[in-house]
Amino acid sequence: MKKTISFIMLIIAIIISLCNFQKPTIISFCKEEVQNFNQTYKDRTAGSVGENSTANYIMEKLEEFNINPFFDNYIQKFKVNNQSSQNVIGFVDNNSPYYVIIGAHYDNVFVENKSFGINDNASGVLTNLNLTSLLRDANLNYNIIFAFFGAEEIGLKGSEYFLNSLQKKILDNIILYINLDSIGAGDNLYYYHYDLKTIYGNYIDNFAKNFEITKLGKDKLYSNTSAFGINYNHIGLNSDNASFLKKGINSLTFFAGNLSATGFGFFETEGQDKIMHNSDNIQTIEEVFGEKFYSNMENVNNFVYNLMISKDFVSNMLEREINPTLLSLWFLKLIGILLIICLALITFFLYICKKKRKTL
């Protein structure tokens, strides 16, 4: 009898563990490493010496976690405003034609004695670093690129440079870009994907029901003014995911904030609007948000990890529609080409008529 009860208990335990999502903990890692950003890597302004030494710190972490470089070296240098900036790119090669990219920018908006880019974006960088070791050994049926972009704050320069340096066969096979930007300091967690009626979007929306996270729809803070070369603007596109959208690549982006507050939305809590880049240091964040800062990062980490290890992830991500933004650009280009051809034909016709009249 005892044996039967223990057997039943064992079966129940196995079923419960199978049903539960795996929840790897990242809080201790973030608590330790965030001090580096708050003390040593305070100023990571695009093109600065501090940005460069932070890139080296990220590179050392990738080496420590046994992540290979994507290019010959981890560091991909580029010029921006006559200064030198760089991306740091790690790679897990699973011998697949498909790629998923997880990205976080590591440069910041530095304000002396006040703002060291802890939420924006040490939170994304640390979560991305934590995901490297979790996903490295997961035996997935696609390759993973871990991207740490420089020069995001001055116009998404790092991600743009990185995408322009990729071969077409890789660009065409990126099944999803996941963007982590400012994911700790906020009352709520939000996610945004380019909100087409695609299977990939529906799949992510269904998956998100397992988490305490709000979908940021197209209705939220939509603007007709263009930004980053896209012909409309949206709060969910104020980061490197806009560079991917321009290339027609599906993306999923996360951030923490409070959109019912009256400010911009990022890094906000009720009653304290627009504190984003004025006091982005760990002391203020812990005072205002406490443990929430770390649990938000943990939730994003768990969301991304469990999404990426889902069995039907690739098949759902592969169902794509043509990006209407690109489609409208192609359409405009086509109209332009047709107009030029018509003008050329009319000119040629008039020239022939004139010539014939002269000969008569």
Contact set with Zn ion (CB under 5 A): 120-121, 181
Instruction: Please state the closest distance from residue 229 (CB atom) to Zn ion, in A.
Output: 18
Partners of 233 in the β-ladder: 223
- The answer to whether the bond into 206 is cis (omega within 30° of 0) is no
User: For residue 238, which of 296, 285, 277 has the smallest C-alpha distance?
Assistant: 277
Burial (CB count within 10 angstroms: exposed 0-12, middle 13-18, buried 19+), residue 342: exposed
CB nearer to Zn ion: give 33 or 153: 153
Q: Select 181 or 323, whichever has its Cβ closest to Zn ion.
A: 181
Q: Which is nearer to Zn ion, 160 or 181 (CB)?
A: 181
With respect to Zn ion, which residue has the nearer C-beta, 120 or 268?
A: 120
Find residue 151's DSSP bridge partners: none
Peptide bond into 121 cis (omega under 30): yes
Alpha-helical segments (H) within 69-222: 123-136, 157-164, 168-171, 199-208
CB 288, CB 185: distance < 8 Å:
yes
Q: How far is the CB of 240 from Zn ion (least distance, A)?
A: 8
Pick between residue 163 and residue 180 the one whose CB is nearest to Zn ion.
180
Q: Which residues pair with 77 in a beta bridge?
A: 86
Work out how close the CB of 26 gets to Zn ion at its nearest, in angstroms, rounded to a whole number: 19
Rounded least distance, CB 92 to Zn ion, Å: 24
Q: Which residue's CB is nearer to Zn ion, number 136 or number 277?
A: 277
CB of 41 to Zn ion, least distance (A): 15
Residue positions counted in the chain: 360
| Beta-carbon contacts of residue 224 (< 8 Å; ≥ 6 apart) | 232, 233
Smallest separation, CB 106 to Zn ion (Å): 10
